[in-house]
Structure 1
Amino acid sequence: MKSYHLTQGTAPILISLPHIGTRLTDEIREQLTDDAKYLPDTDWHLGEIYDFFSEIGASIITPIYSRYVIDLNRSNQNENLYPGKNSTGLCPATTFMGAPLYKDASILTEGEIQSRIYDFWTPYHQALQDELNRLKSIHRHVLLWEGHSIASELPFLFEGQLPAFNFGTADGKSCDGRVLASVLDMAKELSLDYVANQRFKGGFITRNYGSPENNIHAIQLEMSQRIYMSEQFPYALNSTLAPSVKRTLKLLIEAAQQSLSII
């Protein structure tokens, strides 16, 4: 069963979009609540927003299945990314609003979770690791760009309105500081509404694969959906705002790439 798409590029860049999948298995769809079937916590339209990847020679990896099947940005050991704060797990039982996903959450047995890890989580992570290894065999330094988006107001997860651009490097552990600095310099030049390493510091992929001592530099960008789409169902792309966001993302990633040559 194919669970992801990978397109290989030639530049030292791998873009990972682990939450854009929308497919459900028939069994899981039947078990979800009616509201959950709308997949409100999907990173809507990011595949379109990042479709410039081929212009810059980047590789890109994307899942086919929804994060409600399994969250690829969580450890397969299901550790809490943000201890003391509300979060969702490896196989989520609630939405980002805190509402139940399942008519009966008891279906998330250990056997069910292990089956989803085998079918969906492991293939994605093996492909991601293999692609990083391939790029490392060609380039001295590699950039892993973790692309995410989220509703700008989610009281279950954070207070107030989220800034437009939220960069995370696991408090500086997942990439060389000069790489992040180049991105933030570009963010300043573009007068973006941004923060770094605040509420969203980077998920499992950023923390696990980002290894500046091994020349792999991981940055997560959690982008507020209000800047490119409607945050209400049916979550339509804003064709007026989206082109500018695309150009911005391309400039940010290119700034990060350019910094790799000075490390």
Structure 2
Amino acid sequence: MTPPWLSVRRADTPLILAMPHGGTTLPDGLADRFRSPWLARRDADWHIADLYDSLVDATIVSTDVSRSIIDVNRDPSGASLYPGQATTELCPTTTFDGEALYAGESTPDDSEIACRRETWFDPYHDAIAAEIVRLRAKHPRVVLYDCHSIRSRIPRLFDGELPVFNIGTNGGLTCDRSLRDAVEAACSASGQSLVVDGRFRGGWTTRHYAQPAQGLHAIQMELAIRGYLTEPDAVSPDNWPPRFDPALAAPMRATLANILFTCLEFAR
């Protein structure tokens, strides 16, 4: 039985959309341990489900649980995906900006981290793995597309302003070159800034599941939030998160639809 915080919407096409960071739920017993609920939710991939809603016929796996509880796109061993660069942990103790998430000595210890992994991380990835098996039985190639977004300026994580489109393939290891080039071309056609394998090269999801030689191609798309939301220069509880405006997001949705159709064409 699928737990209530986990959503699996099945389709029979060879495309899976994973949404690991769209959730904002702070489960009972954990919410009051954070310095503030706003801080614990601030770094979500805001409105990511609305942004991708009904663009193509694809399987979607998503979690409602905040990434501050556990980040289901991190290496469960605790190893950094970006050695030498600032990042957040499997169970984050700081925000993207380096602010402490927990009050006092209430950060999770190893035992609690293991429990959170069993409760939320493992079921999320079990669901993705099951959908991969189901669709690989129907299609010779499947694309796993990992949906992300982030604030445009976070000095602790990267210099300057992030490009609008950040395509991650871990240096070309997670998908066929033709897929990477086609997605890059779809982004370029928008006229917005883009980079391939820049600051965000793909998280644990893309790196873990990718097996291009066996027909499983994975790609991460990290969007700068200004591409579809009104992003303030500095965020505060008074202005963050911005509301989702369908009219403002329409150009981005049109580009994303082209990207996803490109993924489907490649898989087929």
Shorter-chain-normalised TM-score: which range?
over 0.9
Q: Distance in 2 between matches of 1:105 and 1:219?
A: 38
Q: Which residue is equivalent to 2:266? A: 259
The 8 Å contact of residues 174 and 217 in structure 2, kept in 1 or not, is answered as yes
The 8 Å contact of residues 29 and 37 in structure 1, kept in 2 or not, is answered as no
How much has 1:247 moved relative to structure 2? 1.2
Q: Which amino acid aligns with 1:249?
A: L
Which of 243, 252, 256 is equivalent to 1:245? 252
Does 2:217 align with 1:205?
Answer: no
How much has 1:3 moved relative to structure 2? 3.1
Question: What are the superposed Cα offsets for residues 125-145 of structure 1, whole Å, 9 maximum, x if unpaired?
Answer: 000000011010001100100
SS at match of 2:166: strand
How much has 1:230 moved relative to structure 2? 3.2
Which of 6, 16, 19 is equivalent to 1:17? 19
Structure-2-length-normalised TM-score: 0.93
Q: Which moved more, 1:200-209 or 1:29-38?
A: 29-38
Q: Which moved more, 1:138-147 or 1:232-241?
A: 232-241
Q: Which residue is equivalent to 1:83? A: 83
Q: Which residue is equivalent to 1:60? A: 60
Q: Which residue is equivalent to 1:175? A: 175
Gaps (5+ residues) in structure 1? Answer: none
Q: Which moved more, 1:139-148 or 1:31-40?
A: 31-40
What pairs up with 1:130-141 in 2 under 5 angstroms? 130-141=130-141
Q: Distance in 2 between matches of 1:112 and 1:9?
A: 35
The 8 Å contact of residues 19 and 42 in structure 1, kept in 2 or not, is answered as yes
How much has 1:113 moved relative to structure 2? 0.2
What pairs up with 1:161-172 in 2 under 5 angstroms? 161-172=161-172
How much has 1:22 moved relative to structure 2? 0.9
Q: Which residue is equivalent to 1:48? A: 50
SS at match of 2:195: strand
Q: Which amino acid aligns with 2:218?
A: A
What pairs up with 1:22-37 in 2 under 5 angstroms? 22-34=24-36, 36-37=38-39
How much has 1:102 moved relative to structure 2? 0.4
Q: Which residue is equivalent to 2:241? A: 234
Q: Distance in 2 between matches of 1:170 and 1:117?
A: 24
Q: Which amino acid aligns with 2:195?
A: V
Q: Distance in 2 between matches of 1:154 and 1:173?
A: 27
Identity among equivalent pairs (%): 34
How much has 1:212 moved relative to structure 2? 0.1
SS at match of 2:60: strand
How much has 1:229 moved relative to structure 2? 1.4
Structure-1-length-normalised TM-score: 0.94
Distance 1:35 1:160, change over 3 A: farther
Q: Which moved more, 1:23-32 or 1:33-42?
A: 33-42
The count of aligned residue pairs is 259
Does 2:150 align with 1:143?
Answer: no
How much has 1:119 moved relative to structure 2? 0.4
Q: Which amino acid aligns with 2:51?
A: I
How much has 1:235 moved relative to structure 2? 2.3
Q: Distance in 2 between matches of 1:163 and 1:195?
A: 7
Q: Distance in 2 between matches of 1:162 and 1:20?
A: 20
